[in-house]
């Protein structure tokens, strides 16, 4: 009985233990499955993180490569810029003509372009010296520029004065040549004029007078010898006188001849006013008659001649006496030295 009880107890215990073990096993299996699921999820998360890390690493590596490339490009650009500055400053140093170091930037030593800070420091140091030197040279150049401008202005003034002096010299030479020509004409033709004048005076008395005024000769003929009263046609005696005068003028080339008509102050009246309203018209008509006769008889160039009427505005004596009025009624032939004639000369004028 005791054995049976013992066996029952053992069986019961076994059954109990078996039940407990089954439950524990199931619980453990459940926990394992849950742990397995957690581990799988964690593994997947870790794999995702690893993937992200790899992508981040790749991006960082690409960024580093790009930055390295940019850095290398910037470094190369800086090196080129520094080298260009270095070369330019050497050229400035060679062309400035001022004393300087063998190498104005680096003391004759090659620049280490990998040490940009040191290279730029040397460049700045060299540039400071060159800038100071260039400032000094600019100041000197400015002063020299001002002096040069003053000299150029003075040179222009001197050139202007030289030009004016040359013009004056040429004008003086022309005047001297003209004066010499006039003197020559006066000397060579004077005797002939005196001879003819003497012959005319011997033949016509005081009807013709020759006088000289500076550079011109004046042949004066009394109006009553050449013209009838109030007339502008030459008298027979006037024709003879003008023929002799024309022969004299023909021997004097290079002259400009002006024929001037003069009257007294008596007014024109009666029927004569229809032809000559005033002494202006009468004096001009007489001067024109003499001019035309000289041109036609001598064949001289008409461009050498001009005719002017002065009426009674240039008397040589008083008009209060008959003798004075007779002297004022005259025709004067004035011989001027050769001069440039205008293209549109006036043959007959009324001059005040």
- In this prediction, residue 73 carries a pLDDT of 75
Q: Is the pLDDT of residue 260 over 70?
A: yes
- In this prediction, residue 106 carries a pLDDT of 47
Q: Does some domain include residue 61? A: no
Question: What is the average pLDDT value for the chain, to the nearest integer?
Answer: 76
Banded pLDDT at 347 (limits 50, 70, 90): very low
Round to whole Å and give the CA distance between 218 and 244. Answer: 15
Round to whole Å and give the CA distance between 259 and 347. Answer: 10
Read off the pLDDT of each residue in 95-120 and give the average, rounded to a whole number.
53
Q: Please, which residues have CB within 8 angstroms of residue 211's CB and are 6 or more apart in sequence?
A: 217, 218, 220
Number of domains in the chain: 1
Q: Could you read off the pLDDT of 25-70 as tens digits, one per residue?
A: 677 777 777 777 777 777 777 778 777 777 877 777 777 777 777 7
Banded pLDDT at 95 (limits 50, 70, 90): low
Q: Could you read off the pLDDT of 216-249 as tens digits, one per residue?
A: 788 898 888 899 988 999 999 889 888 888 888 8
Higher pLDDT, 52 or 308: 308
Banded pLDDT at 116 (limits 50, 70, 90): low
- In this prediction, residue 113 carries a pLDDT of 53
Higher pLDDT, 2 or 239: 239
- In this prediction, residue 346 carries a pLDDT of 42
Q: Does some domain include residue 298? A: yes
Q: Does some domain include residue 220? A: yes
Q: Does some domain include residue 62? A: no
Please report, for the domain that includes residue 273, its CATH number: 3.30.1330.60
Q: Does some domain include residue 266? A: yes
Banded pLDDT at 258 (limits 50, 70, 90): very high
Domain residues for 278? 214-350
Six-digit token pair at 189? 């033709």
Q: Could you read off the pLDDT of 286-295 as tens digits, one per residue?
A: 999 999 999 9
Q: Does some domain include residue 159? A: no
- In this prediction, residue 188 carries a pLDDT of 60
Q: Does some domain include residue 83? A: no
- In this prediction, residue 80 carries a pLDDT of 73
DSSP string computed for 284-336: HHHHHHHHHHHHHHH---GGGEEEEE-TTSS-SS-SSSHHHHHHHSEEEEEEE
Q: Does some domain include residue 330? A: yes
Higher pLDDT, 315 or 145: 315
Q: Could you read off the pLDDT of 326-342 as tens digits, one per residue?
A: 999 999 999 887 653 34
Beta bridge pairs of residue 335: 217, 257
């Amino acid at each position: 009985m005791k054995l049976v009880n013992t066996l029952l107890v053992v069986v019961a215990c076994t059954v109990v233990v078996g039940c407990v073990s089954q439950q524990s096993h199931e619980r453990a299996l459940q926990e394992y499955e849950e742990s397995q699921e957690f581990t799988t999820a964690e593994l997947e998360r870790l794999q995702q993180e690893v993937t992200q890390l790899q992508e981040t690493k790749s991006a960082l590596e690409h960024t580093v490569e790009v930055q390295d490339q940019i850095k290398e490009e910037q470094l190369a650009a800086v090196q080129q810029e520094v080298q260009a500055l270095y070369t330019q400053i050497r050229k400035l140093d060679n062309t400035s003509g001022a004393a300087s170091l063998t190498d104005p930037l680096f003391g004759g030593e090659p620049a280490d372009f990998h040490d940009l800070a040191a290279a730029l420091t040397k460049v700045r140091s060299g540039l400071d010296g060159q800038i100071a030197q260039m400032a000094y040279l600019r100041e000197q150049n400015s002063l020299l520029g001002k002096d040069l401008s003053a000299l150029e202005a003075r040179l222009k003034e001197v050139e202007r004065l030289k030009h004016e002096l040359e013009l004056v010299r040429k004008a003086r030479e022309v005047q001297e040549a003209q004066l010499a020509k006039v003197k020559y004409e006066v000397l060579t033709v004077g005797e002939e004029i005196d001879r003819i004048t003497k012959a005319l005076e011997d033949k016509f008395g005081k009807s013709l007078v020759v006088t000289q005024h500076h550079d011109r000769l004046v042949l004066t003929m009394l109006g009553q010898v050449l013209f009838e009263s109030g007339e502008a046609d030459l008298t027979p005696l006037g024709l003879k006188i003008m023929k002799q005068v024309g022969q004299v003028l023909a021997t004097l080339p290079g002259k400009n001849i002006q024929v001037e008509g003069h009257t007294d102050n008596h007014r024109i009246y009666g029927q004569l006013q229809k032809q000559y309203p005033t002494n202006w018209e009468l004096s001009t008509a007489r001067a024109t008659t003499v001019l035309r006769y000289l041109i036609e008889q001598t064949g001289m160039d008409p461009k050498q001649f001009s005719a002017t009427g002065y009426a009674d505005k240039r008397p040589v004596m008083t008009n209060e006496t008959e003798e004075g009025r007779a002297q004022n009624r005259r025709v004067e032939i004035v011989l001027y030295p050769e001069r440039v004639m205008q293209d549109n000369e006036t043959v007959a004028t009324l001059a005040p």
